[in-house]
Structure 1
Amino acid sequence: MMKNKVKELRARYGYSQETLGKEAGATRQTIAAIEKGDYVPSLLLALNICRAFSLTMEEVFWLEEEKK
């Protein structure tokens, strides 16, 4: 399962969901879904989100190990 720090980072940077969406080329609803873990962004969208925060992919997104 993919995890992320988008909500935490957005708050730290003072971005609204709409502002981050505009920066990354997505809608507010898409950003909300990513934050809740309901939507896994495409590679391009994930890179654009990272660029908006000036962070690497690993600092924003990671894979959580599946429990067997």
Structure 2
Amino acid sequence: MRVLRARHGFSQESFGFAAGLHRNYVGAVERGEVSPTLPTLQRIADGFSIPASELLALAERLTKEAEE
């Protein structure tokens, strides 16, 4: 999420506002301290104005790249 947020030029606070999430929660997700529920993943996708499926595909691709 951090990579996508940075690409869109959001701060944690501004992205939290766009997604309807608290900025502390955004940071906790980025640090891997909490795992968002499916409804929260939808809110995150809505904050980026992308389909949730695209958000999940991007996360999967970045995870695979990090493992290589």
1:50 correspondence with 2:45: yes
2:9 is aligned to 14
Pairwise CA RMSD: 1.8
Q: Any idea what the Cα deviations from partners look like across 1:6-35, whole Å, max 9, x if unmatched?
A: 100000000010111111111111000101
Q: Provide the C-alpha distance between the structure 1 equivalents of 2:50 and 2:32, rounded to a whole number of angstroms.
A: 20
Determine which structure has greater relative contact order: mean sequence separation of CA pairs < 8 Å that are 6+ residues apart, divided by chain length: 1
Q: Distance in 2 between matches of 1:31 and 1:53?
A: 13
Kept in 2, the 8 Å contact 1:17–1:31? The answer is: yes
Runs of 4+ in 1 over 4 A off after TM superposition: none
In structure 2, the gaps of 5 or more residues are 64-68
8 Å Cα contact 1:25/1:45 also seen in 2:
no
Higher-strand-fraction structure = 1
Residue deviations 1:37-58 (CA, integer Å, cap 9, x gap):
1111122211011112122334
Structure 1 distance, partners of 2:30, 2:54, is 15
